[in-house]
Structure 1
Amino acid sequence: MGRSADQERIGPVDQRDVDDTGCHFLHVDMDSFFVSVEVRANPALRGRPVVVGGAGGWGVVASASYEARAYGVRSAMPMAKALRLCPNAVVVAARHEDYGAASADVMAILRDITPLVQPLSLDEAFLDVSGAVRLLGGPRAIARQIRRRISDELQLTCSVGVAARMFVAKIASTRCKPDGMLVVPEAQTVEFLRPLPVSALWGIGPKATARLEGLGLFTVGDVADARRQTLVSNLGRAQADHLVALASGHDPRRVAPERVDKSLSAEHTYFHTLSGHAQVESELARLAHKVARRLRAKQLQSRTIGLKLRAADFATYTRDVTIDRPTDLAQEIHARVVELWRGAERGGLAGRSIRLLGVRAGGLVEAGSVPVQLSLEDAAPEPGRTPRWHEAERALDAVVARFGGGALKPASTLRRPDPPRSAEENSGPGS
């Protein structure tokens, strides 16, 4: 699904030989996100003009495939107008829960790369990869890894802009869509910006664009060369200063990652429901390792372990357990969620197909901030609490950071295929 190296000649520079030194900001933007999630669930929609949103006279377009966009269909457009422009469009009702689950999977991949992730919405985020280059290579290599993982692991595509300034990275991702990558070398930042329309500058809406064009300022270069007093008189001092700074390639902002106040979690919606006991426990192991890896990356430990289940009939169950001492070990987290899962089975879930699993770490504290009072029982530590397990899981973190999530995994996450199910069993909400 991704582009080969020979196809990476995008924009003003040759992406195979580009100098990405100092280009530590990445902007990752999913391609036609809601539609892509729907196509992943129903491949028969691929290549067709698909519109996601509410049907009827009051419906609004939430997302449109690139095939529909060729007819002029755009997000936020009334559905009635969209159907006039594209009468053969396939309208799909929005399923925001599934988009939220897919977004969580995307953000999990980004946070595997670096903890410095600033989501802007469900389908886009900024990253600062300055701390990841020693392990993962240069920013361009990291961008390639992100695109490959999102394609391989989630069957979705994204476009990635790489630059030395945040807003330039965002512009770059827009200009290489769909399914592209564009690196803007730091030395070529101004050269890249100057021919762009003024509307490309972040924060410049239709009204400001019209006002600038009324002054004869149509490109970013025009703004950079304009008399400052002209801009101040027409836009005000604050916006004039903002515009001149951006047009000159200046942006002092830094990535502001979301603070984790209460919990960290990993969950996944399965398009083919899980029906086997071994399947569920294997997936719980995979999710437990994701959560544990994020805890260690943020130097946090958890006092409370939670499990979330959604059955094929959309009934949702949540269970939590408080543990004696905080942990950041996947082995401990997995053991607890398996206990919760088996309890849920005994409580009525046995034999039911599962379409969503989630593992949550709550009651977060800084790693090492809670003193552990040793007892005689600690002379023979429980499995998962020995220094050797800590070392093993941290070694796993390093391998995953270097080669991606599929490079190495505990044997407990490998499962034998379940016996084939009939077509009737494979149909249903989770298929």
Structure 2
Amino acid sequence: MEELEPPFRKIIHVDMDAFYASVEQLDNPELKGKPVAVGGSSVRGVVSAASYEARKYGVRSAMSGVLARKKCPSLLFVKPRFARYKEISLQIRKIFYEYTDLVEPLSLDEAYLDVTENKKGNPSASLIAQEIRERIWEELGLRASAGISINKFLAKVASDINKPNGQKTIHPEEVVPFLEELSVGKFYGVGKVTAAKMYNLGIFTGLDLKQKTLEELTRLFGKSGGFYYNIVRGIHHSKVKPDRVRKSIAAERTFNENLSSEIYMLDKLEHIAEELEKRMKHSKAKGKTVTLKIKYSDFTQQTRSKTVHKYVQRKEEFFPIIKELLLQDTLKNSVRLLGISLSNLNTEKKDPVWIQLEFDF
């Protein structure tokens, strides 16, 4: 049997279970055991998160509030409280740091931990993951799942296997057979479109994927082909990065009604720009690349960008560029979402910032 070459890292991926919805049930006991959706129930509302009671009815994140209500008539909608979610996220992270400084947050509700060498001197990553999950429950009243393996890719895949409130360890000797049997649709980094393409090519499992040469995969999937070639062999060298560089800061808004007039769009963009300026000043950041994000009523998306020679931060500096980007080409349809971001920032190695999508409820 094919074997992997040591040395191996000990990586844990911790993923909170239905985080936003669980926080709402924690803070409001009347919601416990009931189907809960964090988001909006209006025509333009979108589900940000769903409790496991709601998921039994097929309610999922990113689903429209109207469809979610059809699937689960007893669904209870709660408006998101991102400040509260971040507050608890920071408490969870404090627990992580008691075990290792190599913590890489991916979002408010998940993170990678490298515990190859850890502050507890515990050689078992599985026992560390179990202890962390127990502490999160005892100290915060929330459930978490975890995946443990030799690299970030495998840990991420493993954390989803025994959800909710479970964990899965993929030991070094189990990696090759595990990946060969795994459906390609379960591979982290393989989305629905790519999975469908693989199915059409007769690639259903890791073993099927393994039969393809690097040249074939590169021809079929471009640069991603090399990634697929390596991960199916258990090769993933990405390290846990505790100092993730912030790449952009953004603000965006989804509208109750589609916009078809550029005059109305500019008015909305004025308000979005004001919010972005606040966030830039709060982060003490400036950027050189200005990007306008447009999502149309048919859910297709477009971005238009321009890079300037000097750093900008204030609305009066970057809004003329946004106006130029909006008017540079005819819009193909009515618009349901507009967003502005500044990237190519002057900051380096700062703590990550999570800017949540804003909805009109």
Q: How does the TM-score come out when normalised to structure 2? A: 0.64
Partner deviation per Cα, 1:344-401 (whole Å, 9 max, x = no partner):
xxxxxxxxxxxxxxxxxxxxxxxxxxxxxxxxxxxxxxxxxxxxxxxxxxxxxxxxxx
1:246 to 227, 231, 241: 231
List aligned pairs for 1:287-298, cutoff 5 A: none
Deviation at 1:152, TM superposition (A): 0.6
Q: Does 1:125 align with 2:111?
A: yes
Residue number in structure 2 paired with 1:221: 207
Letter of the aligned partner of 2:177 in structure 1? E
SS of 1:62's equivalent in the other structure is: strand
Letter of the aligned partner of 2:171 in structure 1? P
Partner deviation per Cα, 1:250-294 (whole Å, 9 max, x = no partner):
101110002699xxxxxxxxxxxxxxxxxxxxxxxxxxxxxxxxx
Residue number in structure 2 paired with 1:202: 188
5+ unaligned residues in a row in structure 1: which ranges?
1-20, 262-431
Between Structure 1 and Structure 2, how many residues are aligned?
240
List aligned pairs for 1:162-181, cutoff 5 A: 162-181=148-167
Deviation at 1:134, TM superposition (A): 5.8
Q: Does 1:151 align with 2:124?
A: no
Distance 2:33 2:180 in 1: 35
5+ unaligned residues in a row in structure 2: which ranges?
1-6, 247-361
Distance 1:59 1:240 in 2: 37
Residue number in structure 1 paired with 2:21: 35
Give me the identity figure in percent. Answer: 39
Runs of 4+ in 1 over 3 A off after TM superposition: 227-230
Residue number in structure 1 paired with 2:240: 255
Partner deviation per Cα, 1:167-207 (whole Å, 9 max, x = no partner):
10000001110000111111111111222221222221222
Letter of the aligned partner of 2:136 in structure 1? I
Alpha-carbon contact 1:23-1:162 (below 8 Å) kept: no
Alpha-carbon contact 2:103-2:240 (below 8 Å) kept: yes
Max radius of gyration: which structure? Answer: 1
Residue number in structure 2 paired with 1:25: 11
Report the aligned-residue RMSD: 1.8
Alpha-carbon contact 1:196-1:220 (below 8 Å) kept: yes
Residue number in structure 2 paired with 1:384: none
List aligned pairs for 1:9-408, cutoff 5 A: 22=8, 24-132=10-118, 135-236=121-222, 238-258=223-243
SS of 2:105's equivalent in the other structure is: strand
Letter of the aligned partner of 2:173 in structure 1? A
Alpha-carbon contact 2:41-2:69 (below 8 Å) kept: no
Partner deviation per Cα, 1:84-127 (whole Å, 9 max, x = no partner):
11111111111111111111111111112111000000000000
Alpha-carbon contact 2:99-2:119 (below 8 Å) kept: no
Higher share of residues assigned helix = 1
SS of 2:98's equivalent in the other structure is: helix
Q: How does the TM-score come out when normalised to structure 1? A: 0.54
Residue number in structure 2 paired with 1:317: none
SS of 2:160's equivalent in the other structure is: helix
Partner deviation per Cα, 1:195-250 (whole Å, 9 max, x = no partner):
222122222122211111110101122101224443233222x2211101011111
SS of 1:29's equivalent in the other structure is: strand
